[in-house]
């Protein structure tokens, strides 16, 4: 039986870098919210013992794809409990651009861990899956836990929050940005003052990566400058996507008419619970 699982996008409503760690990573303070816009991952488990990703993604060899890595990681972690011949055939309907700051790869990895944990009956808890996911990327635990959160550390220390569910115009400038290029830049701001969550929620939201990205990519600078005249507009994560906060869905559609021809846009609503967990609950309910 084939099952279909969403891998949703996230926005960083704000992101501050408070220092650089000895291991080269950065200490962050960021506010994550999901949006109702997702990749869809199709999974059919089998007894082949192999993980087969049948969708080809440009510029990503299968062995480097986080989908394959996540499946193999779960299988290795569960080798004491899992039948040796458990396998899966996986395909993906890709909607989230890679290198866009929407969490595309991390979300895909989290969905694979959550879905195969259920389908293979490996019975790891959400916290255990999040610990596994952290090996694949700092954002993976967010997608595994599945709720909007204030995050610290490298992004793995999560505190659940309920955020107003606004409508957003998301603008993708057809540019893919490598996160490591931004975090390794000498021009990145790394000394933002640490504040507690309640203080940060009362301050205007900004992103410490935005000035650097705007200085390196004139197209992104132009989009933010243009759309900011009509709605609060910021970079998400390390980019390249830009999001504009709108009062309602119609305002978002009206704003989308203003994006440049070299970019593409879509409308999404902020949500505080990941659709991945909604699907998991529905599947558990229907099969119990």
Out of 10, 69, 75, 166, the active site residue is: 10
Q: Binding site annotation covers 185?
A: no
Q: Binding site annotation covers 99?
A: yes
Catalytic annotation on 139? yes
Q: Binding site annotation covers 146?
A: no
Mean pLDDT (whole number) for 81-85 = 65
Q: Binding site annotation covers 104?
A: yes
Tens of pLDDT along 159-177?
999 999 999 999 999 999 9
pLDDT level of residue 83 (50, 70, 90 thresholds): low
Q: Please provide the average confidence, as pLDDT, over all residues in the chain.
A: 94
pLDDT at site 62: 65
Q: Binding site annotation covers 19?
A: no
Q: Which residues contact 221 (CB under 8 A, 6 or more apart)?
A: 214, 215
pLDDT at site 43: 98
Catalytic annotation on 36? no
Q: Binding site annotation covers 155?
A: no
Tens of pLDDT along 122-137?
989 999 999 999 999 9
Cβ count within 10 A of residue 189: 14
Q: Is the pLDDT of residue 153 over 60?
A: yes
pLDDT at site 58: 59
Out of 39, 69, 75, 139, the active site residue is: 139
187 bridge partner residues: none
Give me the residue label for tokens 């635990």: 141
Tens of pLDDT along 33-54?
999 999 999 999 999 999 999 9
- Please report the domains of the chain, with CATH numbers, ordered by start residue: 3-161+276-287 (3.30.230.10), 167-271 (3.30.70.890)
Q: Binding site annotation covers 102?
A: yes
Spatial distance between the Cα atoms of 246 and 101, rounded to a whole number of angstroms: 19
């Amino acid at each position: 039986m084939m099952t279909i699982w969403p891998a949703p996008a996230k926005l960083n409503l704000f992101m501050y870098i408070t220092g650089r760690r000895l291991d080269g990573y950065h200490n962050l303070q960021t506010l994550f919210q999901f949006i109702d816009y997702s990749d869809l991952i199709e999974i059919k488990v089998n007894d082949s013992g192999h993980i087969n990703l049948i969708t080809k993604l440009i510029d990503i060899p299968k062995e480097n794809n986080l989908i394959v890595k996540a499946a193999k990681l779960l299988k290795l972690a569960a080798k004491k409990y899992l039948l040796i011949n458990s396998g899966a055939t996986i395909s993906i309907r890709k909607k989230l651009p890679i290198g866009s700051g929407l969490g595309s790869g991390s979300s895909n990895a989290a969905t694979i861990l959550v879905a195969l944990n259920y389908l293979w009956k490996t019975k790891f808890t959400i916290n255990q899956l999040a610990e596994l996911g952290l090996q694949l990327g700092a954002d993976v635990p967010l997608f595994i836990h599945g709720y909007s959160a204030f995050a610290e550390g490298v992004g793995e220390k999560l505190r659940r929050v309920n955020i107003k569910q606004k409508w957003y115009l998301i603008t993708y400038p057809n540019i893919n940005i490598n996160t490591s290029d931004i975090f390794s830049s000498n021009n990145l701001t790394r000394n933002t003052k640490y504040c507690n969550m309640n203080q940060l929620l009362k301050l205007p939201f900004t992103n410490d990566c935005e000035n650097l990205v705007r200085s390196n990519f004139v197209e992104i600078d132009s989009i933010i400058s243009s759309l900011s005249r009509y709605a609060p507009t910021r970079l998400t994560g390390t980019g390249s996507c830009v999001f504009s906060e709108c009062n309602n869905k119609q305002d978002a559609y009206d704003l989308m008419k203003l994006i440049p021809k070299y970019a593409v846009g879509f409308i999404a609503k902020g949500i505080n619970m990941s659709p991945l967990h909604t699907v998991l609950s529905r599947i558990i309910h229907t099969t119990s």
